[in-house]
Structures are given as C-alpha cells and as structure tokens.
Chain A
Amino acid sequence: MAAAITARAHGLSVLVLDEQPSAGGQIFRNIETLEATRNSEFIKLGKEYELGSSLVRRFKKCGADYFPDRSVWQIDNNLQIHHVSTSASKSNSANSSHCQAKRLLLAVGAMERPMPLPGWTIPGVMPCTAADVLYKSSGFIPDGKVVLAGSGPLLLLIGCRLLDVGVHVSAFLDTSMNGALLKALPLLPNALRSHKYLIRGLSLLWKIRKAGIPFFSGLQNIEALGSSKLEKVRIRKSGKSFDVKADLLLLHNGVVPNVQITRNLGCEHRWYDVQRYWEPIVDNWGNTSVDDVSIAGDCGRVAGAAISEASGHLAALETVYQLGIISQTERDKLSRTHRIELAKHQHVRPFLDKLFQPSKKWLIPEDDKTLACRCEEVNVSEIRETVRMGIKDPDRLKSMTRCGMGYCQARMCGLTVSEIIAEENKVSPEEIGYFRVRSPIRPVTLGQVAEID
C-alpha cells in the first residue's frame, strides 16, 4: 500500500493484485469494515490499527488500480503476470487474466512458521494467527478452553487479545529457547533505542502472568489428542506426562517470509540462521537479484508493519528512479524521511530475533511418527530414512516420498524438510537448500489455464 501511494505520487501507472478480499493484508485485515461497522472492537485493537486505517485510506485514494481477490499463479520471465480469482466459482467463471509489468514489486508478506507436533492435524489445532483472523474478519472468539503453545511476541499479543474478550486460557506452554535471554542481552542496549516495543512486550507478558494462567516452560513434548476434534493436550515435563483439557490449541513458533514467488522467479535467497528461515537477498532499496523485481515488507526479513511500510516507500522510490522519472539525487533526498523511520523501528529487531530464536527442539519433532508434510502425510521417520539412503536434495526427497508434493506446495513442510536433511547430514540448512518452487504457484484448474488468450 505504501509503495502504491509513493509510486502514484510520481505519476506511475500502478496495478495492485491482492489475494485477500480487502485491503490491509494480515495485520490490518478487514480494517475498513471493522472501523465502519464494529468501531468498539476497532478501538480495542489499538493505536497501530488506527495508523493502518489511515494507510488504507491513503492507498484507496492514491489512484492505483486495486484488484482484491486475485491470486497470482504464474509470472513469466518478461514480467507477464497471470492471475485468477481467489474465490473462483461458477458464477464468475471468466476469472483468468494477465497483465504486463515493467517493474514488479512483491509485498506478499509472511506466514507463521509451521510447528509440527504429534496430533497437529486434528481439528482444533491451529496457528495462533488463525484465531486472530477469525476475530478481525468475523468477530469470532474461541469457544471453550484454549491452550497456547509456542514462543514469540505475536503469541503474547494474541494471547492478551483473547484475555481481553474473556476467553478461558487454560495453559500457556512456553517453548522459548533455554538461555535465549542471556544470548540476546548484548543486543539489548541498542534495542533500548526503540524502547516502546520492549515496554509493550513486557506489559503483554505481565498481563498473561497476572491473569493467573498456568505457565509451563522447559517442556520435553507437547501432543494434541482427539479423533475428529481436539480433546486434550498432553505435556511432558521432567519425565512426567500430564493432560490439559482443551477445545482449541493455538500454536506459534515465529513468523517466516513467504518466499513462494521470489523462489519461483529464481531470486537468490540466503539462510538467516538466527530465525532459521530463507530470505531473498536484497539491496538497500529492496531490489532482488532478478532484474526489475523488488520486494517490500515481511516477505524479506520479517520486521513488522512499521518497517514494512517504510520499505514500501523506499522500494517505490527506487522504481520511480529506475523508470527514469526522478534522478538518483532526488531519490536519495526523498528517501531520507523513510530511512529515519526505518531506523527508528529497526533498533529492537536484532534483540527480538535473538530473544525469540526458535529452539531446535520445536523445529524437528522428537516423535518420529509426527507428520512433517500434512498434505501427503509423510512423517519425520520416513524423511529421515530417505535421507539415510543418501538423499540430500529436497527435490529428490520429494519425488521419492511425495513430501512437499501436495496442495500447499510445501508451504507447510518446506522448512522442516530442510532442517531434517541438514540435521542428518550435520550441516546447516543453507548447504541443503530448499524445494524448487514451480509454476503454478497456486493450484489452478485446467479450465482456468485454458482461459488464457
């Protein structure tokens, strides 16, 4: 949205394809409707949400051609972009379309890192942002007993929102890495320069502790139990197991960039070891290694809404410069305020990334029977056995086990697979690499492909 505003301000013709039904992405999801029809809830979501609302308003007025409900499924080398309706149905069968771009800016955001554990496919187990989506877009809140499990600021934030609306949270299972605070401490002095985030984080933690929710850390295992519906969560700590009754288990193990499109386009990626994910390699302006393709926001280094907005403005200024509309000097001059904004929010990131670095234990499930690939139902033990046959390449593993071949196209198992292969070979996932992401990057029907002119 920020990029569209800046690009339009310099007279570019801008097309925005959004997979969601309305502007706002995930953080500011459904923000226009919320503000207009459920204002008390809108206010409850806090000050950042108000800022988001002003951003959406400016975006809607900027003159960009905005198309919600569009899923991009293929981008050709010449930047011809193919897209279909996200909610395709019979009533809008003419839903395939394509367009030609001079420059492409990807702002596809991030997703929660999948947190495989025994029973995580049982209905009633979800990532914590799923509850947030249902709250923001539908006004729904969890019914019954909720168990929160994981690590990261987002889990604290969503946990507090649940408490605010009177949800019964029966346990908080903390999976933070032992000694992470000690490792992060050297980064604290610089983080204090954006102390607002730290105060906010502490107040969230304080709220959860004060609410008297049973808090468990140093866990050996977490298991979801139930058949067609979650019934309880089994926790193992200090060699002992005990059960907590639950209707909903909300998981969280950090946020990772959505690299499906950048991978598909062949952009170079690097392994970010602290947060254990791949990110596209970019310069100061968001340019990737592929000509005329840049990124902004959390589909690069995950850093939240404020940094994403600033990076959007910067990437747009670069685009305007690349298209010859402003000079390099003008670009640099215009970027100054955005660089200051960026720096203001960035001080705290290295500290937070270190403090909430995912613990190895929760990246690869200890229980070998746990499904890593939800779609094709491939468990950890099958992956390990295949790796022990000498398979080091994720794509070869895929063709042998079907792991990563299902509907989600490895979005849910990709990181786990790289971690397991790396562990078996005692190397970093950086040496192993990732699945090759091929078109279509979203499943499309042959009918939709046939509609292409």
Chain B
Amino acid sequence: MFKKQYESHESVSIIFEGKRLNVEKGLTVAAALLVSGNTVFRSSVVSGQPRAPYCMMGVCFECLIEIDGIPNQRACMAPVREAMKIKRQIKP
C-alpha cells in the first residue's frame, strides 16, 4: 500500500505477531506495519471485517492494536520502540 523512498539509517526491531521485524527508528507503529506490507490491524467489532489504519492522525480509532499487552492502542500515535510486542486484535 505504501513504500519507502529511501533506505533508513537507524532501525529498531519490533515483534509483530511473534515475528521479529526490523523497522526504521522514529516511525509510528502504524507506518512501520503498513510499509512492511501488514495492512490488516484488527477485525471490526460487530461483523469481524478486516480493518486497517484510516486517518493516520489519531481521530478515527481504526488502527487500534495491542501493544505490550495493552489492547486498543492507536497504532498511528505510538512510536516504535526496541523489542515492542505488537499483536493484531482479531476476533476469534
């Protein structure tokens, strides 16, 4: 959906769905996952449809994701940190 224009200098490694992912330092969780090709962040609460970040500025609450065990974090507002554990919020 989105791509980098250039290679990054510094990276941090995050753990997304149990897998290690090297991403550019300074990105938000939403940006880091989108550019790594992960477009589904959660399923919708009623019908379970796949949802992705929408507004990217903290208004719409579409990008809610579990970060370090705390659910419902806005991925577009949270910067990535070394060893951050991120999980999708998918309805079973």
Q: Give chain A's interface residues, CB within 8 Å of chain B.
A: 19-21, 26, 33, 86-91, 111-112, 121-127, 129-131, 133-134, 137-144, 165, 227-229, 247-248, 258, 374-377, 406-408, 411-412, 443, 445
| A contact residues around B16 at 8 Å (CB) | none
Q: How far is the CA of A142 from the CA of B84 in the complex (A)?
A: 26
> Which B residues are CB-close (under 8 A) to A133?
56-57, 76
Please indicate the chain B residues that have their CB under 8 angstroms from the CB of A248 in the complex.
Answer: 1-2
Out of A33, A87, A408, name the residue touching B26 (CB < 8 Å): A33
Contact flag A140-B2 (CB < 8 Å), given A407-B61, A408-B60: yes
Q: How far is the CA of A131 from the CA of B39 in the complex (A)?
A: 14
Instruction: Known A228-B50, A376-B46; judge A139-B56 contact (CB<8 A).
Output: no
Q: Is the CB of B3 within 8 A of A126?
A: no
Given contacts A127-B55, A141-B2, contact A87 B50 (CB under 8 A): no
Q: State whether A111 touches B72 (Cβ < 8 A).
A: no
Q: B: which residues have CB within 8 A of A? A: 1-6, 24, 26-28, 31, 34-35, 39-40, 44-47, 49-62, 64, 67-70, 72-74, 76-79, 81, 84
Q: In the complex, which residues of chain A have a beta carbon less than 8 angstroms from the beta carbon of B74?
A: 86
Q: Complex: how many Å from CA A247 to CA B44?
A: 21
Q: How far is the CA of A268 from the CA of B64 in the complex (A)?
A: 32
- Whole-angstrom CA separation of A420 from B54 in the bound complex: 23
Chain B interface secondary structure, helix, strand, loop or mixed?
loop
CB pair A89–B54 under 8 Å, yes or no, is no
Alpha-carbon distance between A228 and B27 when the two chains are bound, in angstroms: 24
Closest chain B residue to A373 by CB distance? B46
CA distance A408 to B70 in the complex (A): 18
B55 lies within 8 A of A89 (CB): no
Contacting pair B55 A134 (CB below 8 A): no
A111 touching B78 by the CB < 8 A rule? no
Q: From B1, B26, B62, B84, name the one whose CB has the most chain A CB atoms within 10 angstroms.
A: B1
Take A123-B39, A138-B35 as given contacts and tell me if A144 and B1 are in contact as well, using a CB distance cutoff of 8 Å.
yes
Across-interface contacts of B44 in A (CB, < 8 A): 121, 374, 377
Known: A89-B68, A123-B50. A134 touches B60 (CB 8 A): no
Q: How far is the CA of A108 from the CA of B54 in the complex (A)?
A: 19
List, in ascending order, chain A residues with CB within 8 A of B54's CB: 125-127, 130, 374
Assess the A140–B4 pair: CB atoms within 8 A: yes
B47 CB contacts on chain A under 8 angstroms: 377
Q: Chain B residues with Cβ under 8 A from A89's Cβ?
A: 67-68, 70, 73, 78, 81, 84
